[in-house]
Amino acid sequence: MLNKMRIAKFIANAGFCSRREAEKLIEDKIVKINNNLCLHPSDIVNENDTITVGKKIIKLYETVRLWKIYKPIKFICSTKDEHNRKKIFDLVPKEFPRMISIGRLDFMSEGLLLLTNNGDYSRNLELPIKGYERIYRVCIRGQIEKKYLEKINQGIKIDNMIYKKIKIKIDKSNKNYTWLIVKLREGKNREIRNICKYFSWQIVKLIRIQYGPYKLGDLKEGQIEEIKVIENA
């Protein structure tokens, strides 16, 4: 039985880009189905159709594959950048299949980033309703009073944005630095940085060490490793 789906979903599931980016490619009129211009992202295709984006033929991978990579600082998680900054995909060996990132880390953050060849799997892990826990180690310059951590754990409102479902504790500290363990479930944009800015805490390092069931482990900066997909994750 042929696996029928919308063209935008097909392109995303092939790991070429996100579904939203696929819709933009169709809008830009560079996607073809069996050498005919695709006019709408809801057009139905199957694995027997020939799908091209520009001159590249898009193939659907049946098996979901997953990699973890240690993103260094000063790398972006996009495939393109108008400022010509280094991209995380520059670290992926050329013989690897095309892949997309699951979530992102900002320019000055580092640590665990998940990559997959399947757009639907990426969307599933990113859905807020799933509530996957993201765990970070955060190094702050100086010492921190515990009363502020209690305030954050209770939920905090900053510039009309409510931050909740946060667990934060001190891992270790000395007179110069404090290392925090921060656990998030909402994953709002720059959540940790916005909270630290509110309390005038200077971030020295921000490292993601876990995303849902997947852990950074002993991976070194810039290293990539294929890992087993955990069922029902």
Are 178 and 144 within 8 A, CB to CB?
yes
DSSP 8-state class, residue 86: -
* Tokens read off for 126: 């990113």
- Rounded CA gap, 58 and 118, in Å? 12
Residue with tokens 């921190």: 144
Q: Which residue from 188, 132, 202 is spatially nearest to 160, judged by alpha carbons? A: 188
Catalytic residue among 28, 49, 106, 120: 106
Burial-class residue 121 by CB neighbours within 10 Å (0-12, 13-18, 19+). buried
Residue with tokens 């199957």: 46
Q: Which residue from 197, 208, 15, 21 is spatially nearest to 105, judged by alpha carbons? A: 208
DSSP string, 17-54: S-HHHHHHHHHTT-EEETTEE---TT-EE-TTS-EEET
Residues 6+ apart with CB under 8 A from 181: 135, 136, 137, 138, 168, 169, 170, 171
Can 106 be counted among the known catalytic residues?
Answer: yes
Task: List residues with catalytic annotation.
Answer: 106
